[in-house]
């Protein structure tokens, strides 16, 4: 595993854009019982949660800890594969006089196996329902049982698709809706309004970067880790200091605010050739349009979610396990309203508002609302996962 330099980790140099991180290669279709199954393969390795710490650890000679794969990668890339499949079908329909344009409406994902970042994901996409106004697709993801044939473990060659496959590690149901007009519009006051005093106390870039991995024991042990930007792909994220607001509040009333924006421009319009034409030997699929922006939102919203719960539950110094089980993402607006405008100024920061309504039975829930720079509630996420700390004296068996 090649480590970035400590300086790159501190400054965030070399982070992958959305087009790079979620890039896909179109594979030949598979025919099963008369049904054609679309297939795609990831081209770049998934971000490894905490990978950057290793560079800082090496520099500071602190102890190394176990790394884990980032679930937001397979979640967002599987959704992108579903979008590409639908766009390909739309392209065929438009040639026959059809042509409705759909955007991602909901994503319901389930994590069944841990992922590896030294081999690609292979996605298979099938129809669940072909309703003309509400198509639903099923995506399953597998990885080869052995690492990539690429010596660098990245930029996966097409030969990796022929490696023996492992079990399904992730599955998702993705639904789509066409754009429509609003006959009624209602939402609660935006996060920007409700937390105006806090948000206006600093410029967005003056807040600390979102932690590489929000675990108190690790952040305390590794010098400079709280200020390090890290190598997290696709979006830049800043964590608002909510300690004063949360002090003394009941668990369910506490909030965390994350500011985020695109790392690099991402086209707002979808390509006319979404699956790639294969010209000049390039089978790369187009990562663009409103659905790519929705996948970017979902990618970032997964970051540190369960770890934020652990922090508020005071598991930060004896956390044993945090792992996603299911993750649902709902877009409340037309897909084009989820498009992020790239800017290096202060005017294009989105807000993720997170709360933690329930922790029990060794699991925790994080509920997030995503607010546009204009204060529009664009999407919500709801994630359930395993959350365990080390046993403490006096614990009852089976209790969290």
Give the CA distances from residue 211 to residues 111, 215, 219, 304, 380, in Å, rounded to whole numbers and listed in that order. 23, 8, 8, 8, 22
Element (H, E) at 43: none
205 assigned to some structural domain = yes
Q: Would you state the structure tokens that stand for residue 199, as one six-digit string?
A: 């948000």
126 assigned to some structural domain = yes
11 assigned to some structural domain = yes
Beta strands in 113-253 (DSSP E): 122-129, 136-144, 165-178, 235-239
253 assigned to some structural domain = yes
Helices marked H in 169-326: 191-194, 196-199, 216-221, 243-246, 289-301, 305-312
CA atoms within 13 A on the CB side of 171: 8
Q: Give residue 36's domain range.
A: 6-179+190-389
394 assigned to some structural domain = no
Q: Beta strands 319-331 and 350-360: pairing type? A: unpaired
395 assigned to some structural domain = no
Please count the other Cβ atoms lying within 10 Å of the Cβ belonging to residue 66.
5
How many Å apart are CA 393 and CA 213, to the nearest integer? 27
399 assigned to some structural domain = no
Element (H, E) at 9: helix 6-11
- At residue 93, the pLDDT reads 59
Q: Would you state the structure tokens that stand for residue 392, as one six-digit string?
A: 């403490």
Beta strands in 48-113 (DSSP E): 48-49, 68-69, 102-111
Tens digit of pLDDT per residue, the chain (400 long)?
677 888 999 999 999 999 999 999 999 999 988 888 999 999 999 998 878 887 777 655 444 455 667 999 999 999 999 999 999 988 765 545 456 789 999 999 999 999 999 999 999 999 998 888 999 999 999 999 999 999 988 999 999 999 999 999 999 999 999 999 999 999 999 999 999 999 999 999 999 999 988 888 888 888 888 899 999 999 999 999 999 999 999 999 999 999 999 999 999 999 887 777 544 445 689 999 999 999 999 999 999 999 999 999 999 889 999 999 999 999 999 999 999 999 999 999 999 999 999 999 999 999 999 999 999 999 999 999 999 999 988 887 655 4
- Please compute Rg for the chain using Cα positions: 21
95's CB contacts (< 8 A; 6+ apart) are: none
397 assigned to some structural domain = no
Task: Give the domain CATH number at 168.
Answer: 2.40.160.210
- At residue 58, the pLDDT reads 62
φ, ψ for residue 167, nearest 5 deg: -70, 165
Domain tally for the chain?
1
Indicate the DSSP class of residue 160. Answer: G
- At residue 109, the pLDDT reads 98
């Amino acid at each position: 595993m090649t480590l970035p330099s400590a300086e790159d980790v501190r400054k965030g140099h070399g982070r992958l854009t959305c087009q790079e991180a979620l890039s896909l290669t179109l594979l030949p279709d598979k025919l099963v019982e008369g049904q054609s199954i679309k297939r795609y393969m990831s081209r770049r390795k998934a971000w490894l949660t905490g990978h950057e710490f290793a560079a800082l650890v090496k520099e500071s000679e602190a102890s190394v800890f176990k790394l884990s794969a980032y679930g937001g990668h397979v979640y967002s890339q599987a959704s992108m594969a579903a979008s590409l499949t639908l766009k390909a079908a739309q392209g065929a329909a438009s040639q026959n006089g059809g042509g409705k344009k759909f955007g991602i409406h909901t994503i319901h994902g389930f994590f069944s196996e841990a992922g590896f970042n030294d081999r690609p994901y292979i996605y298979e996409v099938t129809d669940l329902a072909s309703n003309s106004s509400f198509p639903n697709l099923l995506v399953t993801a597998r990885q080869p049982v052995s690492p990539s044939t690429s010596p660098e473990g990245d930029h996966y060659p097409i030969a990796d698709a022929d490696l023996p496959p492992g079990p399904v590690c992730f599955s998702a149901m993705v639904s789509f809706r066409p754009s429509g007009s609003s006959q009624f519009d209602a939402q609660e006051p935006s996060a920007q309004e409700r937390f105006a005093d806090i948000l206006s106390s600093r410029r967005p870039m003056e807040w600390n970067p979102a932690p590489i991995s929000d675990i108190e024991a690790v952040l305390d042990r590794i010098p400079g880790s709280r200020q390090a930007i890290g190598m997290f792909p696709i979006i830049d994220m800043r964590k608002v200091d909510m300690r004063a607001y949360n002090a003394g509040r009941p668990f369910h009333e506490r909030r965390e605010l994350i500011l985020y924006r695109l790392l690099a421009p991402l086209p707002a319009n979808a390509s006319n050739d979404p699956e790639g034409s294969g010209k000049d030997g390039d089978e790369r699929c187009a990562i663009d349009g409103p659905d790519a922006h929705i996948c970017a939102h979902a990618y970032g919203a997964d970051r540190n979610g369960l770890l934020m719960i652990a922090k508020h539950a005071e598991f930060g110094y004896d956390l044993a396990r945090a792992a996603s089980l299911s993750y649902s993402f709902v877009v409340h607006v037309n897909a084009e309203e989820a498009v992020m405008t790239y800017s290096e100024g202060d005017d294009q920061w989105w807000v993720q508002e997170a709360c933690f309504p329930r922790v029990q039975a060794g699991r925790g829930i994080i509920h997030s609302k995503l607010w546009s720079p204009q204060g529009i509630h664009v999407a919500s996420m709801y994630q359930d996962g395993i959350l365990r700390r080390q046993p403490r004296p006096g614990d009852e068996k089976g209790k969290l």
